[in-house]
Amino acid sequence: MSMFFIIAVIVLIFMIIFQIAKASEYVSVIKGEEKAKKEQNKINGFFMIAFLIAGLIGIYLCNKALYPKTLLIHDSASVQGEKVDSMLRVTLVITGIVFLITQIALFWFGFKYQQTDKRKAYYYLHNNSLELIWTAVPAIAMTVLVVIGLRNWYSFTGAAPKNAMQIEVVGKQFGWIFRYSGNDKIFGKKYYKLIDDAGNNTLGQDWKDQANLDDVVVQGTMYLVKDKPVNLIIGSRDVIHDVGLPQFRLKMDAVPGTPTSLWFTPKYTTKEMKEITGNPDFQYELSCDQMCGNGHYSMRGIIVVVTQAEYDVWLAQQKPNYYAVFPDKDPSNQKPQLADTTKTTAAISALPSKKM
């Protein structure tokens, strides 16, 4: 019912506007077209300057309301992100100046040079020095931005530091799987045809490779260490996903068949970020940023940044995936007095993934 009401109102408004517009056309015919055109020109000339002023005020208000909601009010949570932020600011200043000059000129000229009988348009064809200036100045500004940008780009995409911890990140429809290499620091071989979701082998680990036996596989939540560089080895099981890390200001696609990598250094633990943002519910989120199907929007991962000590405790509690696939090989299953503790830790580590 309300729907019909809304439609009726819209149709009515349309009819009114249309009738007014039609009437104004008749009036202009009666008044004489020239006179009517002059009036219309004046009104639109006024709107030019009004739009400029209203627009600038609007931009100010918009910024005031929305800037605090962006990430930029707080420090970036990664060392690399600081460079992104400073680059954002430099780019904002340069493009902002150009924006103001050109928009003000555009609408001001519109207002100032609206048609009058007094003025004749100035027959002005070209001016080489002027054109040279506005070719050269943007070119120089672009060079500056390219230099800053590429310096950062190479530092982001260069090789990860040797002491970086390695984590494998694998996207699937619709969730994230993380693998830690365990004590031997080597990721065991995997082959996608060995993937067996029901049998807990979600990555297709090849058990003939001894390096796999201590690899830890977790779903949904990734643990990182504060101030320690981390290199993510990124892959996908099915379609293209993207590891989006807004708080760290980075992202990298996850492509099936073509591994990619991304490294960065987290600066703040999750706990510290809760204080910095003043948000007790703060969590680092890992968002999928590449359209990957109907569940794309729900492909949420959690990143927990902790201190090295906390991380060591956490990792020690994780069971290698080998034991999830072959429970009978699990030493804790053979020693009943230890079974209780592992069960509870397993339950704890499973908690965050339940939120998925």
Residue 56 found at the interface with another protein (CB under 8 A)? no
Q: Residue 261 corresponds to which tokens in the numbers above?
A: 């990598």
Options 88, 211, 276, 315; binder of another protein; rule CB under 8 A? 88
Q: Does residue 352 interact with another protein by CB under 8 A?
A: no
Give the residue with the Cβ less far from another protein, 56 or 164. Answer: 56
Output 289 or 330, the one with its CB closest to another protein.
289
Q: Which of 40, 183, 334, 341 binds another protein (CB under 8 A)?
A: 40
Token look-up 């439609």 returns 7
**Alpha helices, H only, 115-239:** 128-157
94 within 8 A of 145, measured Cβ to Cβ:
yes
Q: Which is nearer to another protein, 73 or 350 (CB)?
A: 73
| DSSP assigned state of 31 | H
Q: Of residues 168-227, which lie at the interface with another protein (CB under 8 A)?
A: 172-173, 192-193, 195, 197-198, 204
Q: For the sheet with 216-219, list strands across it.
A: 216-219, 175-180, 165-172, 230-236, 260-264
Cβ 268 vs Cβ 305: under 8 Å: yes
Among positions 30, 121, 309, 316, the unique one binding another protein when judged by CB under 8 A: 121
Q: Does 5 bind another protein (CB under 8 A)?
A: no
Q: How far is the CB of 191 from another protein (least distance, A)?
A: 8
Amino acid at 111: F
Q: Is 258 helix (H, G, I), strand (E, B) or coil?
A: strand
Specify the stretch interacting with another protein by CB under 8 A; choose among 55-63, 161-169, 214-222, 341-349: 55-63
49 binds another protein (CB under 8 A): no
250 binds another protein (CB under 8 A): yes
- Identify the three-state secondary structure at position 263: strand
Complex with another protein: residue 146 or 313, whichever CB lies closer? 146
CB of 182 to another protein, least distance (A): 23
Q: Is residue 8 near another protein by the rule CB under 8 A?
A: no
Torsion angle in degrees (nearest 10) through CA of 53, 54, 59, 60: 80
Is the bond preceding residue 107 a cis peptide, omega within 30 degrees? no
Residue 221: both structure tokens together: 């939540």
**Of residues 16, 32, 35, 37, which one binds another protein by CB under 8 A?**
37
